[in-house]
Amino acid sequence: MGKTIFVSVELPQEVKEHLAHVQKQISQIPGLEARFSPKDKFHITLKFLGNATGADVEIASDRLHTIDFNQFDLKLGDVGVFNQKEGKWVKPNVIFVKVSGKGLKKLNRVVHDTLRNAAVFELNPRFTPHISLAKPTKVSNVRDLISGLKRIKVERKSFRVKDFHLSESKKGAPQKSRVYERLQTFRLKPKRKLSWRRR
């Protein structure tokens, strides 16, 4: 049986703690029932690779090890949702926090270009940088939910990304939960400090 694998960026503990606080605010919105992601599973998906054999994992790992990229900074943004369909509001399937930083989109493109020539992977070029917090199971009123989410305050916390990972998503217990296992870690180069020389 194959593995479900993806390329990810993990988050500092301080950021995870704040996102857990944001989840509490979301849970208090009237008319919303949702499955909330456990704090230890918070991450940013750089690229979803899908089902893969052991040989596919080795191919992905070998290619990702060739990436030469500098460390970069990210910042948390507003709460968002995936829920628009043909211009109409429908029940959101994911509630998330946005993240911003030029380095993340550039790294996503580098990962995409590095892996796209491997015929075993069918890659989606679209990328929306985010951290998933909850999957709604029941929404009494979509507009009320959107209005409530807009009132939630997210601190604009910044953090340095020093590495990224090849990870596996597995079914846990209970059946609906997922377990993420890190398979490989890929280090990014430290930023060079500018040095000034007297002439």
pLDDT for 196: 55
Angle at 139 between CA 133 and CA 145, to 5 degrees: 70
pLDDT for 63: 94
Q: What is the value of pTM for the model shown?
A: 0.88
What class has domain 3-187?
Answer: alpha beta
Angle at 168 between CA 191 and CA 61, to 5 degrees: 55
pLDDT for 86: 47
pLDDT tens sequence for the chain (199 residues): 578 999 999 999 999 999 999 999 999 999 999 999 999 999 999 999 999 999 999 999 999 999 999 999 999 999 999 875 645 556 789 999 999 999 999 999 999 999 987 767 878 888 999 999 999 999 999 889 999 999 999 999 999 999 999 999 987 665 556 788 999 999 999 977 655 555 5
pLDDT for 45: 96
Residue 33 neighbours by CB distance under 10 Å:
11
Domain ranges of the chain: 3-187
State how far the Cα of 138 lies from the Cα of 145, in Å rounded to an integer. 11
pLDDT for 199: 54
Please list the residues that pair with 51 across neighbouring strands: 4
State how far the Cα of 69 lies from the Cα of 79, in Å rounded to an integer. 29
State how far the Cα of 38 lies from the Cα of 96, in Å rounded to an integer. 13
